[in-house]
Structure 1
Amino acid sequence: MTQPTDVYDNPLIGRYASTEMAERWGPLRKFRTWRRLWLALAEAEAELGLLADDGKSPRITQAQLQELASHLDDIDLKRAAVHEKRLRHDVMAHIHALGDVAPGCKEIVHLGATSCYVTDNADLILMRESLNQLCATLASVIDALATFSKTWKDEPTLGFTHFQPAQLTTVGKRATLWLFDFVLDLKELERRRDKLPFRGAKGTTGTQASFLALFRGDHEKVKALDQLVAKKMGFENAGVFPVTGQTYSRKIDTQILDALNGLAQSAHKWGTDLRLLAHRQEVDEPFEAEQIGSSAMAYKRNPMRAERMCSLARFISGLPAMAANTVSTQWFERTLDDSACRRLYVPQAFLATDAVLRIALNLVTQRTGPDNRGLMVNRPVIAKNVREYLPYMVTENLMMAAVQAGEDRQEVHEVVRQHSHAVTARVKAGEGTTAELLEALQRESAFKKIDFAAIAGQAPREFVGRSPEQVEEFLADHIEPIRKRYASVLGKTAELHV
């Protein structure tokens, strides 16, 4: 007999995602949600006065509803699998499995509904819950990264454009760039969560014909049924889709996956920056006491968290294309070629995004003790790199002072360009130092009218512009509202499975 260890195990389940997210997209949760949807439909039909064939007595009794309500969670997956092997239909298999344990309510289950009543509505419920979890975790990442940003708001460091040394910034100001991307992602995830509608009770091709027949042509009751089922399942604020075919528009899937992809882009960018900073030995990710960087090179300290985050983000970014193809190839009211691929890319998009956020939170969360301290800023290395390139950074202030003293801006720029490139060539040849640049410029007539020593002798802190102030303003204006909104869930940590 095949054992679980003998077959492929999806790494998103075994290695990366949280148990909470994995269980949400597991079979038990799905099928229990189906039963709750059947109960909500039956309750709504009863409350709206659905009558039996005699036109007088109730079609659905309280006893039947109570029996159905008492069997929401006792799912027999093996029994359902037997039914599905025979019927080749997953929804019908679970209707039969429910009927096996609740025979008294068999005739009221799925009354007037099509399979997509449970499959689509369940997916929407699970997606909304997943978005809510992702928003909470992302808020925790933002909170922790904001603390990091404030801690290092005054620490001068080299800025980079084209990955070449540029004007100074601060370690904390750079972190606000990562933060702002995540803030934009949070807004988009919240928007998708809060505006996500319910498919409701629309019937086989979205016309509600079956429900109109059940309610003997009463259009108002059919409309009320749609809204009442949505309310019972917690979608009273977002409401229902105004129109559907057999399925809700698969464009909703693409919009949600695009939002998850946006978050993946931000995480990948941050992870890439961390990997580059690790190469420069300026910032290190957590590295535990017994952690091994390489099986061969014992000295290695690889940024494996950031690398894993980038790798999973890349996986997420590949999924929206499949969802887009699904939207493009749905024929008329629906075709079933959406089903198999959606079983893969919808859950896996959420599992992978959850995994990315768990890594992000593990990366940035400050913890006590000698190990796992969160991101580690190596101040001596940063200061050394700043000193090496500071002469180049000073030139912009020298140029502005010279122009204010009456010099031609373009002529001053050319003087700086020629000397800086000449010094750089000497440094690369191992024949000089960057300090020679200021010595050369001081001899130029273009800078004779300014207090050269006063400008060139300033500390690195004087060349970071408004970086510290920008950090404070950004945190106050954009992060504090998020902290207030998610106060009840902040402070969580995330340990990696492996």
Structure 2
Amino acid sequence: MAGYDYYKTPLDSRYSSEEMKKLFSQRSRHSTWRQLWLWLAEAEKELGLESITDEALEQMRSHLTVTDDDFKIAIEEERRRRHDVMGHVHAYGVVAPAAAGIIHAGATSCYVTDNTELILMRDAIDLLLPKLAKVIRAQMITVGKRAAEWIQELVMDLEDIEHVRQELRFRGGQGTTGTQASFLELFNGDEAKVDQLNVLLCEKAGFPSTYTRKVDLRISNAIAGLGATAQRITSDIRHLANLKELEEPFEKDQIGSSAMAYKRNPMRSERICSLGRKLASLPVNFSNTFSAQWLERSLDDSAIRRIDIPEMFLLADAILIGLDNVTNGLVVYPKRIDSRNKQELPFMITEAILMKIVSKGGSRQEAHEKVRVLSHEASHVVKHEESTGGDNDLIERIKKDEYFKDIWDEIDAMLDPKLYTGRSTTIVDRYCGKGGEVEKKLEPYREFISKAETAQLNL
């Protein structure tokens, strides 16, 4: 039961996927450190550094995954040295003794910390993008232009995240304060080899270069945009659920309220909205970290990055899991929508009535005043006289007013809701339908979408 005695982030225990949690685990992070040290040693040997032997490289390759025993050694060494990177350098040297003297040669701590964060962010984006594409594909396009707008905003998030993924830069091996002086010393002043070292490192890691803290801010802005979109979509769903026009998935044994047994709260949308609010707030931390770097760098970025980079991706992951689940099971109630349309339609056609009066030679201002008075009377009935029906009787009032006698015969034909949707159907079909912009945008993710099942919420 010891696991219940200490704080554990809900992103781990409740919301995010196993693959995202594993990616940002301590084992993943520190094993990536070892991979970076191996790439550095390989590149240095390829460029003629004779102190690095084949045996050293083989031992390093054989112990890329940090074991529980390795962690114990690293933690104990960090306690002694007050330095986490050197703790893991020591632990790696214990299991790869032939490499103990050359691990981290020429590098500074940022070589492993920053480059690891970049690798993890790249791989996290690669996990997010197909999930986001699936959410876009799952969105309903039959309930109106509003859902198409949700899709459009999610596509914008997809484009922003794709862009930062494409433009992601690697830090490489820059040495202390970024001068590369330590590597210049290793290669006896051969600048061409220092340049080639970074070319090799970037090739091995699969990146272009070069990185600054601005990269973190660009990524956070793109990912956080998804948080804002999630809030907007789920707020719409919550409002429509309150109007009983739409409902998110609701399981047979699900409880909507501990006190009010009848309730069917949109709990999933509420959760997504909350997670979205948290995600959307993160860029300020990255902005402050970037702007407050002292000259070449200061270490006040360390805690923020350790907390907020994983949290940013775990939040985005949890949001996409939730959106996938909700949008694949939304239920629409057309009769309820039709009922509300009938209630509001008399108000909606008043502009058309004014135009009819004008077309027959009447005064728009005079007609406007007549409609204003009658509308307020009808609104009073709707709001205050539910005991007598509470229906919107504006049309009946207009039909009884002699001022509107010339258009009485035309009013009923004006009550067709389709007259007021404009080109919405065409707009939605062109954007979301076959051969439309959305289909083209999702083409790179088609295989993933075709195989993926609807995401299930952890709790």
Q: TM-score, normalised by structure 2?
A: 0.93
* Cα deviation code 1:424-447 (max 9, x no counterpart): 123323167555322333445467
Aligned residues: 450
In 1, Cα distance between equivalents of 2:46 and 2:356: 80
Question: Quick one: which amino acid aligns to residue 306 of structure 2?
Answer: R
Among 455, 465, 489, the alignment partner of 2:448 is 489
Q: Does 1:452 align with 2:444?
A: no
The residue aligned with 2:165 is 193
Contact 2:59-2:95 within 8 A present in 1 as well: no
Give the whole-Å Cα distance in 2 for the aligned partners of 1:317 and 1:483: 24
Q: Partner of 2:123 in structure 1? A: 129
Q: How does 1:339-378 map to 2 (within 5 A)?
A: 339-365=302-328, 374-378=329-333
For the residue of structure 2 that corresponds to 1:108, the secondary structure is coil
Pairwise CA RMSD: 1.9
Identity score, percent: 46
Decide which of 92, 95, 100 is 2:94's aligned counterpart.
100
CA contact (8 A) 1:35 1:72 kept: yes
Q: Shift in Å at residue 46 of structure 1?
A: 1.6
For 2:183, the aligned partner's letter is F
Q: Aligned pair in 2 of structure 1 residues 41, 410: CA closer, same or farther (>3 Å)?
A: farther
Tell me what 2:426 maps to.
469
Is residue 172 of structure 1 aligned with residue 144 of structure 2?
A: yes
Q: Secondary structure at the match of 2:64?
A: coil
In the TM superposition, what is the alpha-carbon distance from 1:449 to its structure 2 partner? Answer: 6.0
Give the counterpart of 1:479 among 410, 414, 438.
438
Q: Which residue of 1 aligns with 2:240?
A: 277
- Aligned pairs for 1:3-18 within 5 A: 3-18=2-17
Alignment partner of 1:209 is 2:184 = no
Q: 1:409 to 1:208 in 2, by over 3 A?
A: farther
Aligned partner letter, 2:88: H
Using the TM superposition, give the Cα deviation of residue 324 of structure 1 relative to its aligned residue in structure 2, in angstroms.
1.9
Larger fraction in helix: 2
Question: Do residues 85 (structure 1) and 53 (structure 2) align?
Answer: no
Shift of 1:231: 0.8
Contact 1:36 1:72 in 2 (8 A): yes
Q: Is the 8 A contact 2:202 2:209 kept in 1?
A: yes
Aligned residue for 2:161, secondary structure, equals helix
Question: Could you tell me how far apart the structure 2 residues matched to 1:91 and 1:322 are?
Answer: 24
| Distance change >3 Å, CA 410–CA 218, structure 1 → 2 | farther
Instruction: Give unmatched runs, 5+ long, in structure 2.
Output: none
AA at the equivalent of 2:230: A
After TM superposition, list the pairs within 5 Å mapping 1:39-118 onto structure 2.
39-50=38-49, 58-75=50-67, 76-118=70-112
| SS of residue paired to 1:249 | coil
Q: Which amino acid aligns with 2:86?
A: M
Aligned partner of 1:452: which letter? E
Residue 89 of structure 1, CA deviation: 0.9
Q: Is the CA contact 1:271–1:307 (under 8 Å) kept in the aligned structure 2?
A: yes
Structure 1 residue 195: Cα displacement: 0.4
Report the alpha carbon displacement of residue 212 of structure 1 after superposing the two structures with TM.
Answer: 1.1
**2:78–2:84: 8 Å Cα contact kept in structure 1?**
yes
Question: 1:128 Cα deviation (Å)?
Answer: 0.9
SS at the partner of 2:447? coil
Q: Is the 8 A contact 1:198 1:230 kept in 2?
A: yes
Matches within 5 A, 1:62-461: 62-75=54-67, 76-145=70-139, 148-149=140-141, 152=142, 171-235=143-207, 239-241=208-210, 248-365=211-328, 374-430=329-385, 435-442=392-399, 443=401, 445=403, 448=406, 452-453=410-411, 455-456=413-414, 458-461=415-418
Deviation at 1:135, TM superposition (A): 1.2
Residue 26 of structure 2 aligns to which amino acid in structure 1? P
- In 2, the alpha carbon distance for the partners of 1:66 and 1:27 equals 24
For the 8 Å contact 1:48–1:221, the answer to whether it is kept is yes
Tell me: CA distance 1:410–1:121, structure 2 relative to 1, closer, same or farther (3 Å): farther
Measure the CA separation in 2 of the matches of 1:203 and 1:444.
88
* C-alpha spacing 1:130/1:400, structure 2 compared with 1 (3 Å): farther
Q: CA deviation at 1:357?
A: 1.0
Contact 1:423–1:432 (CA<8 Å) still a contact in 2? no
CA displacement at 1:417 relative to structure 2: 2.5
Gaps of 5+ in 1: 51-57, 153-170, 242-247, 366-373
Asked if 2 retains the 8 angstrom alpha-carbon contact of 1:398 and 1:455, the reply is no
Task: Name the CA distance, whole Å, in 2 between partners of 1:444 and 1:26.
Answer: 77
**Alpha-carbon distance between aligned partners in 2 of 1:449 and 1:302, rounded to the nearest angstrom:** 45
CA pair 434-409 structure 1, distance change in 2 beyond 3 A? farther
